[in-house]
Homo-oligomer: A and B are copies of this chain.
Amino acid sequence: MYQPHQLRLQNRLLRALDPDDYRLLAGAFEPVQLTLGQHLTEANQPIGHAYFIEEGLVSLLADTMRPAADRVEIGIVGYEGMVGVPLLLGTDRSPHVALVQTEGRALAVPAPVLDEALGMSRTLRGALGRYVQSLIVQVGQTVYANADFNIEARLARWIVMAQDRLGRDELPITHEFLSLMLGVRRPGVTTATHTLEGAGMIRAQRGRITVLDRDKLLALAAASYGLAEAEYERLLKEG
């Protein structure tokens, strides 16, 4: 059995749990590696585990029941969150896909264990429910970003969000993937990347983007960034 001390974990949700609530889950932790391209959940298939991310980056994609290529990213999850939100909401599946963007680690909790724990603890429901709330805000901000901001601003937003959720400055990501994330052409990402690099915001290498000047990125992303993140921090403290 793997039952690490709560405060040795990276996952911010687990760290913030009431110790009693933590114990309800910790006994069932299954540490798993997250490998690039892995699907943690499939569209409309039973979700067997919730995944509390310890390290790495996971994209939530709308499946859209269409040719593969026009899936769009609706949210991202890192060590601040979890995958498997439908399990918190009384169902075992959703039409979304959870795709590992950057390899890492997670603690998996079997759905029945989570379910029982939720039934026993109001505070656990609150803590994880508030995470759902922050995720809704994040998806809402993505709607806003796609409606009112150009590619460069959205790229800046994505980079900063990924930096937050990955906890480091080096983001392993290709233009191809970014074009999917942002819902734009791949060459559009290339030129936008050049602009950001020319402005000293990032350094771009093959398959990697490194944040050089976060403040400048924030200025470019402007109001497309920040609201969801502020809401997350507020909600985490509310517990």
Kindly supply a per-residue 1/0 record for chain A positions 93-113, scoring 1 wherever the CB is within 8 Å of any chain B CB and 0 otherwise.
011100000000000000000
Is A9 on the interface with B (CB-CB < 8 A)? no
Is A235 on the interface with B (CB-CB < 8 A)? yes
Kindly supply a per-residue 1/0 record for chain A positions 50-79, scoring 1 wherever the CB is within 8 Å of any chain B CB and 0 otherwise.
000000000010111110001011100000
Chain B nearest CB, measured from A191 CB (Å): 18
Please name the residue on chain B nearest to A139 by beta carbon.
B139
Q: Which of B90, B126, B135 contacts A130 (CB 8 A)?
A: B90
Q: Which of B90, B125, B127 contacts A133 (CB 8 A)?
A: B90
Kindly supply a per-residue 1/0 record for chain A positions 140-151, scoring 1 wherever the CB is within 8 Å of any chain B CB and 0 otherwise.
111110111000
Contact: B140 with A227, CB < 8 Å? no
Assembly CA distance A136 to B89 (angstroms): 11
Q: Which of B90, B122, B135 contacts A127 (CB 8 A)?
A: B90
Is A187 on the interface with B (CB-CB < 8 A)? no
Assembly CA distance A95 to B141 (angstroms): 10
List 10 A–B pairs whose Cβ atoms lie within 8 Å, in order of A's numbering. Answer: A62-B140, A73-B143, A85-B136, A91-B129, A91-B133, A95-B227, A136-B139, A139-B140, A139-B143, A143-B183
Contact: A62 with B94, CB < 8 Å? no
Chain B nearest CB, measured from A73 CB (Å): 8
A interface residues with partner B (beta carbon < 8 Å) = 60, 62-66, 70, 72-74, 85-86, 88-91, 94-96, 119, 122, 125-127, 129-130, 132-133, 135-137, 139-144, 146-148, 183, 223, 227, 230-231, 235, 238
Contact: B223 with A94, CB < 8 Å? no
Having A64-B227, A132-B136, one finds 15 other A-B pairs with CB under 8 Å, namely A60-B140, A62-B144, A65-B227, A72-B147, A74-B140, A89-B132, A90-B126, A91-B129, A95-B137, A132-B132, A139-B139, A139-B143, A142-B143, A146-B146, A146-B147
Assembly CA distance A65 to B143 (angstroms): 15
Which residues of the other chain, B, contact A90 by a CB distance below 8 angstroms? 125-127, 129-130, 133, 238
Tell which of A129, A142, A147, A235 has the most Cβ of chain B within 10 Å.
A147
Please name the residue on chain B nearest to A222 by beta carbon.
B66
